């Protein structure tokens, strides 16, 4: 059996604070073979840059995934070229910087492929995530991976669940990100793929999906643009743990993780 830990969207400095406070105890408790975190909002709540990425590298995270906000900080363009374990969604058009797939070998020698995809419902229309997954799974199987994890960064639960069903039996796990709200639908699908619509957020529990309340409420009241500044106050770490058979790549269980403080 092998185990992976997935950490939901890390939101700015409060997100990094949540990891610092809770990740050590989670690593000690679960001893995962692979740790993956979505870091598209890890720099000040929008994008990723060198300094927060370096800080996150110190937390024993093996692979960093992202999504639509990866482009918000210009430093990401060069980081995507120089950091092999920093991914952007693979279904962007050809010629876009970086890559959306990587293979990580665990300390025990298990090769695990990670695919980062982005949805198209209520989001910018990019290439088809379903067909992109088909192509990348074939390539990964040729490179001899034992398991494949998909981070599906998408808004609509319908699109996420459809991809989970579509890939059931072909990948080890489909974990959703982007909404910042952890869902209660984690289960292993009939073909052996662990599925969770959204892992939730590592970040502030106050605010609106991690952003200062007054900014977001103001946006709904007056429709003006706003800065997505992380909320202050208590923080929590959210994600999930997946156990799988490294010989078959089939999942055995999925469990959500939620550690930290509510906003009261
Ligand atoms: Fe996102």
Report how far ligand 1's centroid is from the alpha carbon of 178 (Å): 4
Residue 208 Cα to ligand 1 middle (Å):
14
pLDDT confidence of residue 157: 98
What is residue 21's predicted lDDT score, i.e. its pLDDT? 95
Read off the pLDDT of residues 222-237 as tens digits, 9 standing for 90 and up: 888 877 789 999 999 9
Q: Give the pLDDT score at 181.
A: 97
Contact yes or no for 248/193 (Cβ under 8 A): no
List the catalytic residue out of 69, 104, 153, 178. Answer: 69
**Cα(153) to centroid(ligand 1), Å:** 6
For range 30-48, the mean pLDDT? 94
Strand arrangement, sheet containing 187-188: 101-105, 111-118, 147-153, 173-177, 194-196, 187-188
Active site residue 69: yes
Q: Which of 38-52, 76-90, 116-130 has the lowest mean pLDDT?
A: 38-52
Cα of 68 from ligand 1 centre, angstroms: 5
Cα(98)–Cα(96) distance, integer angstroms: 7
Neighbours of ion ligand 1 (CB under 5 A): 67-69, 178
Ligand 1 center from residue 8 Cα (angstroms): 11
* pLDDT tens for each residue of 144-192: 999 999 999 999 999 999 999 999 999 999 999 999 999 999 999 999 9
Residue 264 has pLDDT above 70, yes or no: no
- 142 CA distance to ligand 1 centroid (A)? 30
């Amino acid at each position: 059996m092998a185990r992976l830990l997935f950490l939901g969207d890390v939101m700015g400095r409060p997100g990094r604070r949540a990891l610092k406070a809770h990740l050590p105890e989670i690593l000690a408790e679960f001893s995962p073979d692979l740790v993956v975190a979505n870091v598209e909002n890890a720099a000040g709540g929008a994008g990723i840059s060198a300094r927060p990425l370096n800080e996150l590298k110190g937390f024993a995270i093996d692979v960093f995934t992202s999504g639509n906000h990866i482009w918000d900080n210009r430093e990401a363009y060069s980081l995507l070229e120089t950091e092999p374990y920093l991914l952007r969604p693979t279904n962007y058009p050809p010629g876009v910087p970086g890559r959306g797939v990587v293979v990580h070998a665990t300390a025990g020698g298990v090769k695990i492929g990670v695919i980062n995809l982005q949805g198209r419902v209520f989001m910018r229309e990019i290439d088809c995530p379903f067909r992109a997954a088909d192509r990348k799974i074939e390539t990964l199987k040729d490179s001899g991976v034992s398991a494949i994890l998909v981070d599906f960064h998408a808004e609509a639960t319908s699109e996420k669940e459809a991809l989970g069903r579509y890939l059931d039996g072909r990948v080890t796990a489909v974990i959703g990100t982007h909404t910042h709200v952890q869902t209660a639908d984690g289960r292993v699908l009939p073909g052996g793929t662990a599925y969770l619509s959204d892992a939730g957020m590592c970040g502030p529990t106050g605010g609106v999906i991690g952003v200062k309340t007054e900014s977001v409420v103001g946006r709904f009241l007056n429709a003006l643009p706003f800065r997505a500044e992380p909320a202050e106050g208590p923080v929590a770490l959210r994600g999930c743990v997946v156990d799988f058979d490294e010989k078959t790549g089939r999942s055995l269980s999925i469990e959500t993780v939620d550690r930290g403080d509510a906003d009261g």
